[in-house]
Structure 1
Amino acid sequence: MNRKWMGRILLYTVAIALVVAAFFSLPYYITKPGMAKELEPIIEVEGGYEEKGSFMLTTVVMGQANIYTYLLAKISEYQEIYPLAAIRSEEESDEEYKVRQLHSMSTSKLAAIEVAYKKANKPITYQYKGVYVLSVMDGMPAMGKLEPGDRIFQVDELTFKSSEEFINYVGKKQAGDNITLYFERDDKENRVSLPLKIFEADQTKVGVGIGLVDDKDIVVAPEVTVETSDIGGPSAGLMFSLEIYNQLVKEDLTKGYKIAGTGTIDSSGTVGRIGGIEQKVIAADKSDAEIFFAPNEEGAADSNYLAAVQTAKDIETNMKIVPINTFEDALTYLEALQEKEE
């Protein structure tokens, strides 16, 4: 075989190896700074007030590593590498992880609406729709029959309003008993009969092997629409609540500033820790945010706030980092803020 053909074979081999390496996933996830996204275009309160400035959520970009992205992250200052187990358990499929992230966003959105409407003294009620399947356990009757994202709205003859009612009903039965589940998937109603089985982890309990949470809608007046189809996770809760509240009240809390931030929120208005705070500070700075709200975690030594302050110092931004423990903290800061000069 002449050298010309040997060279071609070597070239083809290298090319194939490079392509394979690009598609070969490693057991790591890579995160890097995402963007800061204005909330006014994706949140609309019916008849809501307009604002001069803006509230913005911040994001990180995350994906499973291949050889190239792993090596790049190793030499990049603001890219982080996480082992697979730090993001999702070995038993959790990609689909289950995606469903969990979307449900976390949905729960965060409901809490943000509740906090904002309560503060604005607007009426709130809940409409319960059943239970939402988050995961399906291997070796249990539901495997292959139910999927993450299914909404169960009836078991046998019982229509229920919470996961607690569902669990109590099933818990009174015995291993080997059959139950019929009525559920919705892709806007179509289905039903399946399954035998109950004892859980290996808890021999005192029986079930079909699903992880579940309440599925409910919040009913408010005026109506609010929050478009989150391309956003996952709970970290936008605080900023959601501020944007919704700002559209509900006459006073413009932005005072003309671009205000970014992050933090989970619960129905009591408590702001919680999130991941990727350093990357979110960078995303906010790139979008010219002037103020950044960071979870203070009641002054914890390793709080998101302190990490955000350090990152702001490292990148030499003029963006002001503000510690936030609660929704009320954010309102207090904004109400005392001077109007931005034109």
Structure 2
Amino acid sequence: MRNKHFFRTFIIATFIIMLSSFYHLPYYVSKPGMAKELAPIIHVEGGYEEEGSFMLTTVRMGKANIYSYALAKLSKYQELYPLEVIRKKDETEEEYNVRQLHLMASSKLAAIETAYKKAKIPIQYHYNGVYVLSVVPNMPANGKLQAGDRIFQVDGNEFQSSEQFIQYVSGKKAGESVKLTFERRKKTDEVTIPLQMNPDTGKLGVGIGLVDDKEVIVKPVVTIESKDIGGPSAGLMFSLEIYNQLVKEDLTRGYQIAGTGTIDANGIVGSIGGIEQKIIAADKAGAEIFFAPNEEGAADSNYHAAAETAKDIKTKMKIIPVDTFDEAIDYLRNLKSK
């Protein structure tokens, strides 16, 4: 009888533990991710090879359950973020994921622009339409469009920018409709949606958050296989890897070089989240140099947080502050080869 009672109690306890692990708290947990070599995922046609490597760094982000919440509280290098800090107001999980993937796409675009401009290679652009980032609740598009849809025609018209799209729609009146031609999961469809004033913005529209969907056309051709990595934080490292394949000089000098930071089309490096976890990931991967956003020397910059973490974990990895792509290039050109 005692064994049966113990077994029954064990089964019930196991079931409760398993069930509770599926209950998510209103928090996200961030922990060290990986440092991934970029040469295998970035290919410039006819590009030069390198002796060392450039690496992007990531964090692992996920919804917290009671166990991961408790573990994060006890861990020095795991962070808890309230739901509203990670996701925008009324943003669904799907819209959040779409936004992260779009930020990655924009990051790749800016990295290509930065690298090819530095190499003085001409760039052309092709506009594909507007990309739906989010759908506003209680607006006409709700239930008709989804995050990730690509709208490429409005009333049969094609545009060269999202500004033209918005200008066309704003020229209509509330109650009038627009016919949108869009692509979803590689299938084309049409939908007619009435226009309405958005109470949050005071602007006429169907109720979507949108951005330009464009691509750059360059020769030699470059491809970046980022798969499901989201967010904009790999921009700086993307641009360094692309540029290094474009020029004969090997800027790695034989070193393992990691880093993080957004990049814009002008080569400006921006701050990111999770710098402490990325330092740990880079150190575990054997990186010798780490580029960190300097934020123009701000006291609470990514660079200072990275330097403090590097000191705390006693890594030999050098932490280098940068505000621009050119600063990173200048540092590498003055680096002695191994």
TM-score by length of 2: 0.98
Q: Which residue of 2 aligns with 1:146?
A: 145
- Alpha-carbon distance between aligned partners in 2 of 1:91 and 1:214, rounded to the nearest angstrom: 22
Q: Which residue of 2 aligns with 1:135?
A: 134
Amino acid in the other structure paired with 1:252: D
Q: Does 1:304 align with 2:311?
A: no
- Alpha-carbon distance between aligned partners in 2 of 1:67 and 1:201, rounded to the nearest angstrom: 35
- Alpha-carbon distance between aligned partners in 2 of 1:333 and 1:271, rounded to the nearest angstrom: 15
- Alpha-carbon distance between aligned partners in 1 of 2:4 and 2:227, rounded to the nearest angstrom: 52
**Bigger mean CA deviation after superposition, 25-34 or 7-16:** 7-16
Q: Which residue of 2 aligns with 1:218?
A: 216
Measured after TM superposition, the shift of residue 291 of structure 1 is 0.4
Amino acid in the other structure paired with 1:19: M
- Alpha-carbon distance between aligned partners in 2 of 1:67 and 1:242, rounded to the nearest angstrom: 40
Measured after TM superposition, the shift of residue 167 of structure 1 is 0.5
Identity of aligned residues (%): 65
RMSD (CA atoms)? 1.1
**Bigger mean CA deviation after superposition, 314-323 or 15-24:** 15-24
Amino acid in the other structure paired with 1:278: E
Q: Does 1:201 align with 2:200?
A: yes
Measured after TM superposition, the shift of residue 10 of structure 1 is 3.2
Q: Secondary structure at the match of 1:225?
A: strand
- Alpha-carbon distance between aligned partners in 1 of 2:244 and 2:4, rounded to the nearest angstrom: 70
Q: Secondary structure at the match of 2:230?
A: coil
Q: Which residue of 2 aligns with 1:66?
A: 65
Measured after TM superposition, the shift of residue 25 of structure 1 is 0.7
Q: Does 1:104 align with 2:103?
A: yes
Amino acid in the other structure paired with 2:131: Y
TM-score by length of 1: 0.97
- Alpha-carbon distance between aligned partners in 1 of 2:278 and 2:52, rounded to the nearest angstrom: 19
Distance change (3 Å), C-alpha of 1:173 and 1:54: same
- What are the superposed Cα offsets for residues 136-156 of structure 1, whole Å, 9 maximum, x if unpaired? 011111111101000000100
Q: Which residue of 2 aligns with 1:256?
A: 254
Amino acid in the other structure paired with 1:62: M
Amino acid in the other structure paired with 1:266: D
- For structure 1, the residue ranges without an aligned partner over 5 or more in a row are none
Q: Secondary structure at the match of 1:65?
A: strand
Alignment coverage as a number of residue pairs:
338
- Alpha-carbon distance between aligned partners in 1 of 2:54 and 2:333, rounded to the nearest angstrom: 14
Alignment check: 8 A CA contact 2:101 2:228 kept? no
Distance change (3 Å), C-alpha of 1:258 and 1:207: same
- Alpha-carbon distance between aligned partners in 1 of 2:39 and 2:278, rounded to the nearest angstrom: 19
Measured after TM superposition, the shift of residue 80 of structure 1 is 0.6
Q: Which residue of 2 aligns with 1:276?
A: 274
Alignment check: 8 A CA contact 2:180 2:192 kept? yes
Q: Secondary structure at the match of 1:244?
A: helix
Q: Secondary structure at the match of 1:139?
A: coil
Q: Does 1:288 align with 2:289?
A: no
- Alpha-carbon distance between aligned partners in 2 of 1:186 and 1:102, rounded to the nearest angstrom: 15
Q: Secondary structure at the match of 1:338?
A: coil
